[in-house]
Amino acid sequence: MLKQKKIEVVIEELARLRGHDLNTAEMLELRCRVSGTFSTKERQAHWMTTSTFQWKIPIRHADELENIVLEQL
């Protein structure tokens, strides 16, 4: 997998080859967008590998619920 810094350097070099020197604001934007893309990719990978959430009633509430049901019978 490509490293974030390498991608930033390649994009900066491509801009320079096309005759556009990036100023500090543009470099900040570049870093933020590359970082955001990596974060999104990481979240997606985590989301795809985790199992589905199965909610369970907490034990103390289950006991209270059982008592209520028994009282109604």
For 1-47, write each residue's pLDDT tens digit.
678 899 999 999 999 999 999 999 999 999 999 999 999 999 999 98
Distance between CA 45 and CA 42 in Å, rounded?
5
- Structure tokens given for 40: 């999104």
Q: What is the pTM of this model?
A: 0.60
Render 40-72 in DSSP notation, one character per residue: HHHHHHHHHHSPPP-----HHHHHHHHHHHHHH
The one-character DSSP state at 35 is H
